[in-house]
A and B are shown apart, each in its own frame.
Chain A
Amino acid sequence: MNPSLKLFLVIFLSLELTFITKLWVNLIVIIICLIILMHYRFHWRQFCWLVFVPLFPALAIFITIVLFSPGHSLFDGTVLFSRLYVYVCLGTVFTFTTNTLTLARSLEQNCHLPSKYAYGVLAALNLIPKMKQAVTTIYTAGHMRGVNLHWWSPTLYFKAILVAIQWSDQLAQAMESHGFVEGQARTITVKIPITTRDWVYFSSILILIQIIVIALP
């Protein structure tokens, strides 16, 4: 599906489910998401992360509602618990099935987002592996200079921030030296169309969810 359309769909569904307290809808959305992820060969280790990361905030909300809210409603607690997983699953499906470059191109072409934002974010995303490398390098550099850095050492973060500031400046220079001028027209290498099929998918998913919302208790 067209990435911009997919993004809009995910955001819309998340918003809609925020205002609906129906457990079955949440569960169905989660299951559909998991099926999609399995279809795209989601790794079981990634699956564990998906379960684990939202677990604590979800539990916290669940316990707060069930034990401390005036109604002590188990139902409300479960709805909120599952709702958090709905958000995470929808987000995961989106990131897992979307290439960032295609998304940037789609946002630029289909949504007419200023290319400054589209490519700025993309460039920042491409810095993430470099950032990981940089942190390891800082640790090693510390060891080699006779300074043992720990994860709580201020030096580590200070240095990481310095590196980031430097990068932002260099990145701007890099983009500019490769001909990028803010607000100037650009041509396109790969056209990202919104096809009829995209619209069909989009509207059928939307309608399907509405039916489930209305039909189920």
Chain B
Amino acid sequence: MTNINFKNLSFNFDDQSILKNINTEFKEGKIHLLTGISGSGKSTILKLIAGLLPKYGGKIVTGTVDIPTGAQVGIVFQDPLMQFALDTPRHELEFTLENCQVPTQQIPARINRALNFGNVQPLANRLISTLSGGQQQRVALAVTMAMQPDILLLDEPFANVDEENRQFILKQLRQINNDYHTTIIMTDHDLHGYQQLQPLVWHLTNGCLSQLSVKDSAHLLQKGINQKLTTSLPTSDLPAIINFDHLSIKRGNQNLLLPTDLAFIKNKTTLVTGPNGIGKSTLFKAIARLLKYKGTITYERANIQKLSPGKYYRHLGLVFQHANDQFLNVTVGEELALALKTSQNPYFNHQQVQSALKLLGLTGREEQIVYSLSGGQKKKLQILLMLMRGQDILLLDEPFTGLDPGSLKNVLQLIKDAQTKKPQTLLIISHQLNGLDGFIDFHLKMNQQHLKYVGGSYES
């Protein structure tokens, strides 16, 4: 085996330069961590190594990418939902192993080992479409590991994964790197927990890739360590906007939430956390009237089932976990025009929208097709559009995935600015808690079919 070589590589997407004259060698058997702001081209590098680009879009202008001949390359994408061809994790694993020409009698053992790797044994026969985002990501990782890759490419593998599983998988990655000498190249914005892997850290900026010095790397990884979060408990004299009255939710035969009474405080920001698959997104869907539940949910004391959807959604918006779901038009410009037309927040006029675009680094992209934006750019545009719509309540489901610390700060700033003209109640699901201290008023934990506010100062 030899190293992965980028020789004077330049890569374009629709005449837009993404990578410029990259000369780099990723050493075999090492763990490499790619950092850089959203949209800097991290995913592009991974897909080039995997051979998916330029086959599925874009163009190599100059140079070459050399990967060791005969090396098995495994890749896990940013968006886990779209990397399965079959219905259940077990079938997907069988399909993958058949593709890799694993002899029939070895397949069951390989499947078990892969399921153990991702800690997903109980999910093996569930329909993938019913798994939560974090569970899908772990299944995707398990499937890739079943291929026993020589080179493992992970694109923000922990974006929707809870802390416990994150630590578990990090440990697993160190293990396979040790045991099988697997080359691992991964991208991430949230760097906590990476110290134990002792990765070589790379920084991608303006299309140029450089390796950080040992000292800089150590500094950067140190910064990623968990921050403290300080929240208070809501008191009963605060006005509520959403109330649960004996709310219980089921997924199939499984209870996600046992009958609960709860209030969400008006014009405050509430963070909702909990392990993968515990039902956080499902809870949001119930509040947004997108699925059936038992008990009552009221908005400003009115039963939400008695409001017409048109009226209810004027007051309540959901920032979907998948940014693509939010878009209705083709180009960034058209999306912004629609958002301006239907805006309910007077803060956003032409000028403010322009400065918001500048803040988010989206200036000059009006003509670009929304779906061709990078993962992080889509998230930023999506949040901007929903802020412009300006409902009284905004539910945000993992809004910060794919955002680098700088972008996150800017997004939080934008949210605060938008609220100066029209206060909003925000409910946020997020696994990434770094940088959120001071932004959150209340913290609601979901676990074992219960919801509970937590308060005080604690390690996030």
Residues on A lying within 8 angstroms of B by beta carbon are 101, 119, 122-123, 126, 129-130, 133-134, 136-138, 140-148, 155, 159, 162-163, 166-167, 169-181, 184-191
B130 closest partner in A (C-beta): A129
Q: Are B325 and A141 in contact (CB under 8 A)?
A: yes
Q: How far is the CA of A172 from the CA of B84 in the complex (A)?
A: 10
Q: Are A140 and B313 in contact (CB under 8 A)?
A: yes
Closest 8 CB pairs of A and B: A146-B342, A179-B99, A123-B85, A143-B313, A170-B82, A189-B94, A174-B83, A178-B96
B266 CB to nearest chain A CB (Å):
20
Judge if B238 is at the interface, Cβ distance under 8 Å: no
Q: Which residue of B98, B325, B327, B386 is within 8 Å of A186 (Cβ)?
A: B98
B103 closest partner in A (C-beta): A187
Within 8 A of A (CB), among B301-332: 309-310, 313-314, 316-318, 320, 324-328, 330
User: Cβ of A133: which chain B residues have Cβ within 8 Å of it?
Assistant: 129
Q: Are A179 and B56 in contact (CB under 8 A)?
A: no
Judge if B91 is at the interface, Cβ distance under 8 Å: yes
B422 CB to nearest chain A CB (Å):
15
A176 closest partner in B (C-beta): B52
Q: Which residue of B82, B97, B313, B330 is within 8 Å of A144 (Cβ)?
A: B313
Sample of 30 A–B contacts (CB below 8 Å): A119-B85, A123-B85, A129-B129, A130-B129, A133-B129, A138-B325, A138-B328, A141-B328, A142-B328, A143-B313, A145-B328, A166-B324, A167-B82, A171-B82, A172-B56, A173-B77, A173-B83, A174-B82, A176-B52, A177-B52, A177-B74, A178-B143, A178-B147, A179-B96, A179-B100, A186-B101, A187-B103, A187-B107, A188-B104, A189-B97
- Once A140-B313, A147-B342, A173-B56 are accepted as A-B contacts, the answer to whether A123 and B86 lie under 8 Å apart by CB is yes
A136 closest partner in B (C-beta): B290
- Once A137-B320, A177-B52, A178-B85 are accepted as A-B contacts, the answer to whether A144 and B389 lie under 8 Å apart by CB is yes
Q: Are B338 and A145 in contact (CB under 8 A)?
A: yes
User: Cβ of B74: which chain A residues have Cβ within 8 Å of it?
Assistant: 177
Q: Are A144 and B391 in contact (CB under 8 A)?
A: yes
Q: How far is the CA of A187 from the CA of B95 in the complex (A)?
A: 9
B335 CB to nearest chain A CB (Å):
9
Judge if B356 is at the interface, Cβ distance under 8 Å: no
Q: Are A143 and B310 in contact (CB under 8 A)?
A: yes
Q: Are A177 and B104 in contact (CB under 8 A)?
A: no
Main secondary structure of the interface of A (DSSP, over half): helix
Q: How far is the CA of A125 from the CA of B56 in the complex (A)?
A: 23
Q: Are B85 and A140 in contact (CB under 8 A)?
A: no
User: Cβ of A177: which chain B residues have Cβ within 8 Å of it?
Assistant: 50, 52, 74-75, 77, 83, 144
B371 closest partner in A (C-beta): A166
A4 CB to nearest chain B CB (Å):
18
User: Cβ of B94: which chain A residues have Cβ within 8 Å of it?
Assistant: 189-190
Residues on B lying within 8 angstroms of A by beta carbon are 50, 52, 56, 74-75, 77, 81-87, 91-92, 94-104, 107, 127, 129, 143-144, 147, 288, 290, 309-310, 313-314, 316-318, 320, 324-328, 330, 338-339, 341-342, 344, 371, 385-386, 389, 391
Q: How far is the CA of A162 from the CA of B86 in the complex (A)?
A: 22
Q: Which residue of A119, A134, A136, A141 is within 8 Å of B95 (Cβ)?
A: A119
Q: Which residue of B87, B290, B339 is within 8 Å of A126 (Cβ)?
A: B87
Q: Are A145 and B318 in contact (CB under 8 A)?
A: no
Q: Are B147 and A169 in contact (CB under 8 A)?
A: no
Q: How far is the CA of A192 from the CA of B310 in the complex (A)?
A: 51
Q: Which residue of A119, A144, A187 is within 8 Å of B101 (Cβ)?
A: A187
Q: Which residue of B86, B324, B389 is within 8 Å of A145 (Cβ)?
A: B389
B317 closest partner in A (C-beta): A144
Q: How far is the CA of A139 from the CA of B203 in the complex (A)?
A: 41
B330 closest partner in A (C-beta): A162
Q: How far is the CA of A6 from the CA of B460 in the complex (A)?
A: 58
B155 CB to nearest chain A CB (Å):
11
Most-contacted residue by chain B among A101, A138, A179, A189 (CB, 10 A): A179
Q: How far is the CA of A96 from the CA of B74 in the complex (A)?
A: 37
Q: Are B328 and A189 in contact (CB under 8 A)?
A: no
Q: How far is the CA of A143 from the CA of B342 in the complex (A)?
A: 11
B125 CB to nearest chain A CB (Å):
12
Q: Are A141 and B320 in contact (CB under 8 A)?
A: yes
B86 closest partner in A (C-beta): A126
Q: Are A191 and B104 in contact (CB under 8 A)?
A: yes
Q: Are B342 and A175 in contact (CB under 8 A)?
A: no
Q: How far is the CA of A105 from the CA of B120 in the complex (A)?
A: 25
User: Cβ of A190: which chain B residues have Cβ within 8 Å of it?
Assistant: 94
Q: Are A147 and B85 in contact (CB under 8 A)?
A: no
User: Cβ of B310: which chain A residues have Cβ within 8 Å of it?
Assistant: 143, 148
B416 CB to nearest chain A CB (Å):
22
Q: Are B85 and A155 in contact (CB under 8 A)?
A: no
Q: How far is the CA of A167 from the CA of B100 in the complex (A)?
A: 24
Q: How far is the CA of A147 from the CA of B86 in the complex (A)?
A: 34
Most-contacted residue by chain A among B85, B103, B144, B326 (CB, 10 A): B85
B106 closest partner in A (C-beta): A187
Q: How far is the CA of A188 from the CA of B324 in the complex (A)?
A: 36
B385 closest partner in A (C-beta): A145
B75 closest partner in A (C-beta): A177
- Once A177-B52, A179-B147 are accepted as A-B contacts, the answer to whether A186 and B99 lie under 8 Å apart by CB is yes
B314 closest partner in A (C-beta): A146
User: Cβ of B330: which chain A residues have Cβ within 8 Å of it?
Assistant: 162
- Once A129-B129, A144-B318, A167-B82 are accepted as A-B contacts, the answer to whether A178 and B324 lie under 8 Å apart by CB is no
